[in-house]
Structure 1
Amino acid sequence: MDLRLKGLKAAVTGGTRGIGNAIVHVLAEEGCALATCGRAPERIESLRRQMDAAGVRFHGETVQGRDGEAMRNWTRNSVEALGGLDIFVASLSAGGGTDEERYWYRNFEIDLMSAVRGVEEALPALRQSKCPSILILATMAASETFVAPMAYNAIKAALVTWSKQLSQQLAPEGIRVNCLSPGPTMFKGSNWEMIRVARSRIYDNAVRQQPTRRMGTAEEIARSAVFLASPAASWCNGSHLLVDGGFSKRVPF
Structure 2
Amino acid sequence: MDLQLTGKRVLVTGGSRGIGRAIVEGFLDEGAVVGFCARDPQAVSTTADELAGRGQVTGSVVDVGDAEALAAWVQTSAEAMGGIDVVVANVSALAIPDTEENWQLSLNVDVMHTVRLVRAAMPYLEQSDAASIIGISSVSGRESDFASGPYGTAKTAIVGYLHGLAMQLADKGIRANIVSPGNTYFEGGVWESIETGDPALFEMAVGLNPTGHMGTPADVAAPVVFLASPVASRVSGTNLVVDGALTRGIQL
TM-score, length of structure 1 as denominator length = 0.97
Q: Deviations over 1:61-101 (max 9, x none)?
A: 11112111111111111111111111110001111421111
Deviation at residue 53 of structure 1 after TM alignment: 2.5
1:17 aligns with 2:20: no
Question: Does structure 2 conserve the Cα–Cα contact (< 8 Å) formed by 1:139 and 1:156?
Answer: yes
Amino acid at match of 1:124: P
Give SS of 2:146's match.
coil
Deviation per CA, 1:137-193, whole angstroms, max 9, x where unpaired? 100111011115320100110000000001111100000000110000001111111
- Matching residue of 1:227: 226
1:29 aligns with 2:29: yes
Matches within 5 A, 1:104-253: 104-253=103-252
The corresponding residue for 2:100 is: 101
Q: Kindly indicate whether the alpha-carbon contact (under 8 Å) linking 1:59 and 1:82 is maintained by their aligned counterparts in 2.
A: no
**1: CA distance between counterparts of 2:46 and 2:163?**
35
Q: Counterpart of 1:88 in 2: which secondary structure?
A: strand
The one-letter code sitting in structure 1 at the alignment partner of 2:125 is L
Per-residue deviation at 1:59? Answer: 2.4
Report how many residues are paired: 252
Distance 1:186 1:47 in 2: 19
Q: How does 1:70-81 map to 2 (within 5 A)?
A: 70-81=69-80
Q: Secondary structure at the match of 1:37?
A: strand
Q: Residues 195 and 8 from structure 1, CA distance in 2 versus in 1: closer, same or farther, beyond 3 angstroms? A: same
Q: How does 1:24-103 map to 2 (within 5 A)?
A: 24-54=24-54, 56-103=55-102
Whether contact under 8 Å (1:36, 1:59) holds in the other structure is yes
Amino acid at match of 1:149: S
Q: CA distance change for structure 1 residues 76 and 148 in 2, over 3 Å: closer, same or farther?
A: closer
**Residues 140 and 148 in structure 2, CA contact (< 8 A), matched pair in contact too:** no
Q: Secondary structure at the match of 1:80?
A: helix
Identity across the alignment (%): 38
Alpha-carbon RMSD: 1.0
Given that 1:14 and 1:36 are in contact with CA atoms closer than 8 Å, whether structure 2 keeps it comes out as yes
Give structure 2 stretches of 5+ with no counterpart: none
Instruction: Kindly provide the amino acid, as one letter, of the partner of residue 129 in structure 1.
Output: S
Decide which moves more: 233-242 or 146-155. 146-155
1:186 match: secondary structure:
coil
